[in-house]
Structure 1
Amino acid sequence: MKLIQNILGKIFAVYAALMFVATMLFVLIPVWIISLLPEPRRARVLHPVFRLWMGIYMPLIFCPVTRRGKDKFKKGENYVVILNHNSFMDVPVSSPWIPGPNKTLAKMEMSRIPLFGAIYKAGSILVDRKSDQSRRGSFGKMQETLEQGTNLCLYPEGTRNKGGQPMQQFFDGAFRTAVKAQKPIMPGVIFNTAKVLPATRTFWMRPHPIQIHFLDPIPTTGLTTDDIPALKERLFTIMESYYINHKK
């Protein structure tokens, strides 16, 4: 049985990869043209393109995405959106389904992939994690993104969760960014991406519905860097409890 599952998972991974490339080719030129625009206009125009692309791609690979809590996002307000991170599949689920334009902090290495790299770069703030200068520069760019009224999407666990716990402990970066900008934090919880594309298996996928739930935002107005540890712990507890109570 395991052998059959492994074979079917690899066949499905090939299908999903082919569908990704095929649909990507339709948006490649529009995204390249849009990438020439200055921010924040670029983010505003890119978002509906990414949403349309993933709105077609995800059902094509039998992984439809449903969203809950869209009403948590208030008109005229932008947020530091924080999400749990279990799989590479979190990326095409998160940014397109966040209401309104957003940018995410992304690894520099991915931008070097032919064709896809141009799309990846257009909607991201790139960082070379091996470079202190790049990390400092990315922090400034995140602040600039928030000042421009664009949402910022971050994964406070830092990397994919490959362990047995519901979530890994959070790093300070997302909370430090929100406090400095005095922007509210919008917690979100993604379900089932680890079932679709497990971090512990190589080139293996399976179809499964995916959900993303946005929870009540937490304000940071008046908070200082001294409040970051408590803020981080509060958000971790909220998200972990929600994940445990709603996971199916």
Structure 2
Amino acid sequence: MRIVKEIAGRICAAWALVTFIVTFILVLPFAFVSYLFPEPASTAYFIKVSRIWMHIWFFLIGCPIRVRGTAHFKKGAGYIVTCNHNSLLDIPLSSAFIPGPNKTIAKTSFARIPVFGWYYTKGSVLVDRKSETSRKRSIEKMKAVLRQGMHMCIYPEGTRNRTKEPLKPFYNGAFKLAEDTGHSIVPAVILGTKQAVPLNKPFFFLPRTLEIHFLKPVEVNGRNAAALKEEVFNIMKAHLEV
């Protein structure tokens, strides 16, 4: 039975990769149209295209999507969305299904991939973590995203969680951004991606239901980054442990 599961996981991974590439090629011309609009209309259009693409792709690979808590987003307000990070599936899930235009803080590595790198860059605020200059520029870019009424998605664990704990300790970035700008934080919990793409199995995927739950916003109310980080961490951990 284990051998059958291992074989099935590789076949499903191959199917997921092929369908990702094919659907990406088909959606790319529509995504290019986003450059005809100024911000934030440009990103709003881009995210709508991405959402359609992800609905199609997740359907093709057998992953139903469940999204809860979108009512927490007030129209016209920009939020800092903090997501847990377990899998490469987390970013396409969060980016496409956060309600409204949004950008994700992301590493520069994927931006170097020909053609796809453009798409990845359009939906991201890129940062080279090894460069102090890059980190400072990314902070200013994230503040600009929020000023334009868009949402800024941040993974406060920094990297995928390879521990047995529900969450890794959080970095300060998202919460310092909230402290500096006064923008509320929407904790978001992603479920199912760790099981669909286990971190300890190379080139392995098995279909399952994927979920993203947006929780009640955390207001800044003059609090510092440390206090915000502790509250958001506890909220997300409690939701994961239910």
1:184–1:221 CA contact under 8 A, matched in 2? no
Q: Which residue is equivalent to 1:167?
A: 167
1:110–1:120 CA contact under 8 A, matched in 2? yes
SS at match of 1:188: strand
SS at match of 2:103: strand
- The answer on 1:228 being equivalent to 2:211 is no
For normalisation by structure 1, the TM-score amounts to 0.94
SS at match of 1:200: coil
CA offsets 1:184-226 (integer angstroms, 9 cap, x no match):
0000101010011112211100000011111100111433xxx
Which ranges in structure 2 are unaligned for 5 or more consecutive residues?
A: none
| C-alpha distance in structure 2 between counterparts of 1:45 and 1:4, whole Å | 42
- The answer on 1:67 being equivalent to 2:67 is yes
Q: Which residue is equivalent to 2:148?
A: 148
Q: Which residue is equivalent to 1:136?
A: 136
- The answer on 1:126 being equivalent to 2:126 is yes
The Cα of 1:2 is off from its aligned counterpart by: 2.3
1:156–1:173 CA contact under 8 A, matched in 2? yes
| C-alpha distance in structure 2 between counterparts of 1:9 and 1:43, whole Å | 35
CA offsets 1:10-67 (integer angstroms, 9 cap, x no match):
1110000011011101111222231464422211111110111101111110011111
Q: Which residue is equivalent to 1:115?
A: 115
- Number of matched residues? 242
2:79–2:184 CA contact under 8 A, matched in 1? yes
The Cα of 1:149 is off from its aligned counterpart by: 0.7
* Alpha-carbon spacing, 1:131–1:37, altered in 2? closer, same or farther (3 Å): farther
| C-alpha distance in structure 1 between counterparts of 2:199 and 2:33, whole Å | 33
The Cα of 1:168 is off from its aligned counterpart by: 0.5
Q: Which residue is equivalent to 1:184?
A: 184
* Alpha-carbon spacing, 1:194–1:221, altered in 2? closer, same or farther (3 Å): same
Q: Which has the higher mean CA deviation after the structures are superposed, 156-165 or 33-42?
A: 33-42
Provide the alpha-carbon RMSD of the alignment. 1.1
- Aligned-pair identity in percent equals 43
Flag as ranges the 4+ runs of structure 1 deviating above 4 A.
Answer: none
Which ranges in structure 1 are unaligned for 5 or more consecutive residues?
A: none
SS at match of 2:67: strand
